Structure 1
Amino acid sequence: MTTQNEWVFAKGALRRGDWESVVDDELAGWQHTGLRVAELGPGGRLPLPAAGVERLVVPLSGSFMVEHRVSGALETTHLAGRASVFDGPSDVLYLSTGASATIEGEGRVAVAEAPTAEVHPSRHVRRDEVPVELRGAGRSSRQVHNFGTPQVLDAGRFIVCEVITPAENWSSWPPHKHDELQAGQESRLEEIYYFETAVERGLDGPPQADPFGFVRAYSSPAGEIDVLAEVRTGDVALLPHGWHGPCVAAPGYDLYYLNVMAGPDPERVWHISDDPAHGWIRATWEAQDVDPRLPYERRP
């Protein structure tokens, strides 16, 4: 018997040391993906000890210096960041399995992780190299930054991207799943959602504004899950299995999420199956334009 929203964690509920949130295999039932989120003040510094995981450092707000070491060689990479996650792509840094690192800077930063013995070279992906995809149409329009997908990044296990959903729009839609191995059709992937919310771009909200969105997931033959939750900046949702979608941006409030996916399959690929009750909706996008508010780019 599953409990509603047992896989959703409010900001700080997964705190560990200097990290605001940590997701790893210390959580019961979790094994293929990881995430760390922290906010650094002036002079902030966070160590990432060497471990059997590959990592992707993603500035959420602010810019960062990352000092990293692989096989004795020390390198320093400057990550040109952004004012917020709603200001276009950021530089990201892929850290090879076994690399140690130290993050320095001021702002919010996320580190995606996946356990793997595979070793791929560390890589600085600059923001002008990040493919920006406008997915869907009409009220299903959203913006995807594909900096950690197989087509862009050579990695061992994980697939990482971020999604911006403008106010009133739905993303992660139609509902879909990736919890059964069906060669060429569906892959098995755990998934982490890390959320941020903000007053809709172009609006001046009052001080008491409370940006939020919603996330939904429900049971599939692979397992029980029941999620229908409000989410705000710093919240985390974990999807071990099941149909998931939509993520809904409330009127007046934009919604962002960072996705980290990985699984046990031999191939690193994102193959999904739509819920047959709702998959037909994709065809309706052909007669609609993409939301003219997109893309959200870097503000002057």
Structure 2
Amino acid sequence: MRLPQHELRVNDGRRYLLPAGTASAGAYELEVTPESAGWGYSGLRVVALAAAEEHRFDTGVDEVVVVPLSGGLTVEADGSHVELDGRRDVFAGPTDFAYLPPGTAATLHSERGGRFALCSARTERRLPVRRVAAADVAVELRGAGRSSRQVRNFGTPDHLDAGAIIACEVITPDGNWSSYPAHKHDEAGEHESELEEIYYFEIAAGPQGQPGLGFFRTSSSPGHAIEITEEVHDRDVVLVPFGWHGPAVAAPGHAMYYLNVMAGPPHPGSSGGRAWLISDHPDQTWVRATWADQEVDPRLTKETP
């Protein structure tokens, strides 16, 4: 579902930027649903659990991927008991995660406490509850030079069997640009799929805990009016219903993490209807050719940021 053009106001970035704490609801420090976002498929919740605390929820009409942001937990769902080791924080490397199908009652329990992302997508496909180990998360180094970043493809079509959800994590070293060249996925075709996208950011603090920052941009694409250039901070969210999006820029001294959650209508040219196809901004696609003569940022590896 797309927002009608008469409802869009160019330069109304605050419609799509959700500063940390402004989209909390009930037990969730962050809640984005298709209804709150004004679209049809993608969602994200973040829940923080104290030591020995539990959280119960029902997936309803969504499939859900449980991703530890910090800490570990146990997931009880559909008679399955899934132990997730988790991680210290999002900059400590990939994590194991759990997949939950629609129509599932689940209980999360964290012995030591932590923060956990519930990435979701509307789908009618029902697959079994399962755990994927951190060692099985496909990690790639994308770009080169100041465009180097690490991408953890835990929920992309080539690496996770799912109904509609597409999800990944990106680590951008301080001073680097990612989501660059700017790209879009707002119309279905041979080379592009229609996907709504959520960017959830965490920004590394300075050496004495100084808060960090970064920048993110979305601009109008054919038929879609949108104009966002926003300073982003730790735990902010940006919604991308359409448009050319990127770059995401990490300020010097502050590494940037973002979690992407995408979903959309079935893509007619893909097996199962799930595809992650993008078009580069025509003014920026030439940048990719420059990477052949540059080294990947040595701060990045395929194991840790």
- TM above 0.5, yes or no, is yes
1:298–1:81 Cα change, 3 Å: farther
C-alpha distance 236-248 of structure 1, shift in aligned 2 (>3 A):
same
- Deviation at 1:297? 4.2
1:25 aligns with 2:25: no
User: Structure 1 residues 222 and 58 mapped into 2: Cα distance closer, same or farther (>3 Å)?
Assistant: farther
| Matches for 1:71-90 after TM superposition, within 5 Å | 74-90=79-95
Task: Report deviation, 1:21.
Answer: 0.8
Does the 8 Å contact 1:87/1:296 carry over to 2? Answer: no
**Inter-partner Cα distance in structure 2 for 1:259 and 1:4:** 19
Q: Does 1:66 align with 2:75?
A: yes
State the Cα distance separating 1:296 from its structure 2 match: 7.1
C-alpha distance after superposition, 1:110-156 (max 9, x if no partner): 01000111112222110000011100000000001111011111100
The alignment's TM-score, normalised by the length of structure 2, stands at: 0.92
- Residue 14 of structure 2 is aligned to residue 8 of structure 1: no
1:186 aligns with 2:195: no
Match of 1:138 in 2: 145
Q: Is 1:198 matched up with 2:204?
A: yes
For the 8 Å contact 1:180–1:222, the answer to whether it is kept is no
2: CA distance, partners of 1:236 / 1:260: 11
Question: Which is worse superposed, 84-93 or 36-45?
Answer: 36-45
Q: 1:275 corresponds to which residue? A: 281
Residue type at the aligned position of 1:270: W
1:44 aligns with 2:53: yes
Question: Which residue number in structure 1 is paired with residue 170 of structure 2?
Answer: 163
Q: What are the equivalent positions in structure 2 for 1:179-258 lying under 5 Å apart?
A: 179-183=186-190, 185-199=191-205, 205-207=207-209, 209-258=210-259
Mapped to 1, the partners of 2:144 and 2:276 lie a distance apart of 21
Provide the C-alpha distance between the structure 1 equivalents of 2:253 and 2:244, rounded to a whole number of angstroms.
27
| Runs of 4+ displaced beyond 6 Å | none
Cα deviation 1:6-59 (Å, max 9, x = unaligned): 201011111110101111122152221010012211122211214111010000
1:205 alignment partner, SS class? coil
Look up the match of 1:91: 96
Identity %: 50
Tell me the TM-score normalized by structure 1: 0.93
1:273 and 1:281 map into 2 onto residues whose CA distance is: 14
Instruction: Choose the corresponding residue for 2:136, options 107, 129, 138.
Output: 129
Report deviation, 1:285: 0.2
CA distance in 2, matches of 1:139, 1:50: 40
Q: Superposition RMSD on alpha carbons, in Å?
A: 1.4
Cα deviation, 1:74-133, whole Å, max 9, x if unaligned, reads 111111111110011000101112121111111111010001111122221100000111
Q: Distance in 1 between matches of 2:160 and 2:228?
A: 31
Residue 5 of structure 1 aligns to a residue whose secondary structure is helix
Equivalent residue letter for 2:275? V
- Say which is worse superposed, 110-119 or 20-29, in terms of deviation: 20-29
Distance 1:181 1:234 in 2: 31
Greater share of strand: 1
Task: Supply the AA of the counterpart residue of 2:47.
Answer: A
Say if 1:5 and 1:226, in contact at 8 Å, map to a contact too: no
Aligned residue number for residue 101 of structure 1: 106
Instruction: Give, in whole Å, the separation in 1 of the partners of 2:98 and 2:14.
Output: 32
